[in-house]
Amino acid sequence: MHSDERIRRARPDDVPAIVDLVYGLAEYERAPQECRLTAAQLETALFGEAPAVFCHVGELDGEVVGCALWFLNFSTWRGVHGIYLEDLFVRPDHRGSGLGKALLTALAQECVRNNYERLEWSVLDWNTPAIDFYKSLGATAQDEWTTFRLTDTALTTLGS
């Protein structure tokens, strides 16, 4: 497997840059008010006692300009883990550099290396450039599925 030298696993000193990228993604997705991530939260999630979130970063000229935050999921139908890509973001001024593809390639390599059978993510239906990019890599839309979410009052009401 060929690996791109611009892509590596995140280190603790990358946390502020990753937080900035997550806020950039929230802005791009037209929901900046919903993003409340702090550096302390992300550092604990990525590097605490029992990390359950992982991250690859893309660097250009020593600066982190892209990231892929992910975690393991599990397919009962396949009987093995997979990767769920929570966030993929490359700063707008560095799009077209191949970093997005390189980040996805690194996650695909992670899957192959660990015998994970799926790499999955969600994309907003209005994000045509991303959809076209993902399709160009061979990804297929799972249009027959609808994502549901409980948060805030609905979550606490059900959980109380």
The answer to whether the beta carbons of residues 135 and 127 sit under 8 Å apart is no
Q: Cα(139)–Cα(120) distance, rounded to whole angstroms?
A: 9
Place of tokens 């611009």: 6
> Which residue of the set 23, 28, 116, 134 is catalytic?
134
Q: Cα(6)–Cα(63) distance, rounded to whole angstroms?
A: 10
Active site residue 23: no
Place of tokens 């690996």: 3
Q: Tell me which residues are annotated as active site.
A: 134
